[in-house]
């Protein structure tokens, strides 16, 4: 039984390259993610955040250690099981949106369903509901080049959510957005996390974005350095933000190093 642990990361290491070109990107990282958590991962550039997310997404193979999703070892998945895992259990949100330019917003959003042969009324209902939640109903017929960055990222968020994944992985989702659009995106992701108990793991440099999380792991040189938990009943976003900024300052010897 996996109980309410959606994800278990157990002693993950990742070494890229060989000999003089060797980079130890992850040096033994372990943590669990519970259902409904909104987990933030922070750390300086090069600390291993993207590598960690890509290991969870099975796009990068860890050098050692295990990653379990709902109790199943992700390294054991093959063929359709692996495709299902990538396509249905995981939703991925990228910094640069990664929308397909020749598809409309609507086509981009339903792409994960089309690829799995799921279309029709159910998909249409899901799309309408998500579009309303993310405030993108009026841009669904537009192409990416006709949308603002904020709209593009909310379309990408809808695409990450449409297949109802067990976990959403987001790599710097506000990295290419201005502060207003960052706030809009975070408000919406946070509402979806709270109202649907959607589990989200988000890598970010941005203390404002991180302040929406329920817990934050800080990574330094491929190792866990610190953890912060927000006490939801009592703590405001502002107070959590202050605590995050304090750790970030310790992490890099000044936020300039971290950002």
β-strands 215-220, 23-34 pairing: unpaired
Q: How far is the CB of 219 from ligand ADP (least distance, A)?
A: 7
Q: Which does 160 bind (CB under 5 to 8 A by kind): Mg ion, ligand ADP, none?
A: none
CA-to-CA distance for 216 and 227, rounded, in angstroms?
6
Distances (CA, A) of 193 to 78, 94, 134, 190, 232: 30, 18, 13, 5, 13
Specify the residue, 126 or 172, whose C-beta has the smaller distance to ligand ADP. Answer: 172
| Residue of 70, 244, 95, 222 whose CA lies nearest to 170 | 95
Q: How far is the CB of 165 from ligand ADP (least distance, A)?
A: 21
Q: How far is the CB of 105 from Mg ion (least distance, A)?
A: 26
Specify the residue, 110 or 251, whose C-beta has the smaller distance to ligand ADP. Answer: 251
The contacts of residue 183 (CB under 8 Å, 6+ apart) are 208
Q: Is 183 helix (H, G, I), strand (E, B) or coil?
A: helix
Does 54 sit near Mg ion (CB under 5 A)?
A: no
Q: How far is the CB of 94 from Mg ion (least distance, A)?
A: 10
Residue in the structure block whose two tokens are 């009943």:
233
Specify the residue, 48 or 144, whose C-beta has the smaller distance to ligand ADP. Answer: 48
Q: How far is the CB of 24 from Mg ion (least distance, A)?
A: 16
Q: Which does 51 bind (CB under 5 to 8 A by kind): Mg ion, ligand ADP, none?
A: ligand ADP
Instruction: Report the half-sphere exposure of 10 (CA within 13 A, side-chain side).
Output: 12
Q: How far is the CB of 17 from ligand ADP (least distance, A)?
A: 5
Binding residue count for Mg ion, defined by CB under 5 A = 2
CA-to-CA distance for 102 and 100, rounded, in angstroms?
6
List the end-to-end C-alpha distance of the chain, in Å, as a whole number.
40
CA-to-CA distance for 144 and 108, rounded, in angstroms?
9
Specify the residue, 49 or 230, whose C-beta has the smaller distance to Mg ion. Answer: 49
Specify the residue, 47 or 214, whose C-beta has the smaller distance to ligand ADP. Answer: 47
Backbone angles phi and psi of 69, in degrees to 5: -110, 120
Residue numbers at the binding site for ligand ADP (CB under 6 A): 16-17, 23, 25, 43, 45-51
Which structure tokens are listed for 133? 């939640």
Specify the residue, 97 or 218, whose C-beta has the smaller distance to ligand ADP. Answer: 218
CA-to-CA distance for 162 and 143, rounded, in angstroms?
19
Q: Which does 23 bind (CB under 5 to 8 A by kind): ligand ADP, Mg ion, none?
A: ligand ADP
> Exactly one of 40, 47, 50, 67 binds Mg ion (CB under 5 A); which one?
50
Q: How far is the CB of 145 from ligand ADP (least distance, A)?
A: 28
Specify the residue, 49 or 154, whose C-beta has the smaller distance to ligand ADP. Answer: 49
CA-to-CA distance for 130 and 153, rounded, in angstroms?
13
CA-to-CA distance for 38 and 175, rounded, in angstroms?
18
Return residues touching Mg ion (CB under 5 A).
49-50
């Amino acid at each position: 039984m996996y109980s309410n642990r959606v994800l278990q990361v157990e002693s993950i290491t990742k070494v890229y390259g060989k000999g003089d070109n060797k980079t130890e990107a992850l040096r033994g990282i372990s943590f669990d993610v519970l259902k409904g958590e909104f987990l933030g991962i922070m750390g300086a550039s090069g600390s291993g955040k993207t590598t960690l997310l890509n290991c969870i997404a099975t796009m990068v193979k860890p050098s050692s250690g295990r990653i379990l999703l709902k109790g199943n070892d992700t390294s054991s998945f093959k063929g359709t099981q692996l495709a299902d895992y990538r396509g249905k259990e995981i939703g991925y949100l990228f910094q640069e949106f990664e929308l397909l330019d020749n598809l409309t917003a609507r086509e981009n959003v339903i792409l994960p369903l089309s690829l799995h042969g799921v279309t029709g009324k159910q998909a249409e209902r899901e799309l309408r509901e998500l579009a309303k939640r993310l405030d993108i109903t009026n841009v669904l017929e537009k192409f990416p080049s006709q949308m603002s960055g904020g709209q593009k990222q909310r379309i990408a968020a809808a695409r990450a959510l449409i297949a109802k994944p067990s976990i959403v992985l987001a790599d710097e989702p506000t990295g290419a957005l201005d502060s207003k659009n960052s706030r809009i995106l975070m408000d919406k992701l946070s509402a979806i996390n709270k109202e649907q108990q959607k589990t989200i793991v988000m890598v970010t440099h941005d203390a404002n974005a991180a302040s929406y999380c329920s817990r934050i792991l800080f990574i330094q040189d491929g190792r866990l350095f610190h953890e912060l938990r927000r006490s939801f009943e009592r703590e405001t976003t502002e107070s959590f933000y202050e605590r995050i900024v304090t750790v970030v300052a310790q992490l890099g010897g000044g936020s300039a190093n971290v950002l």
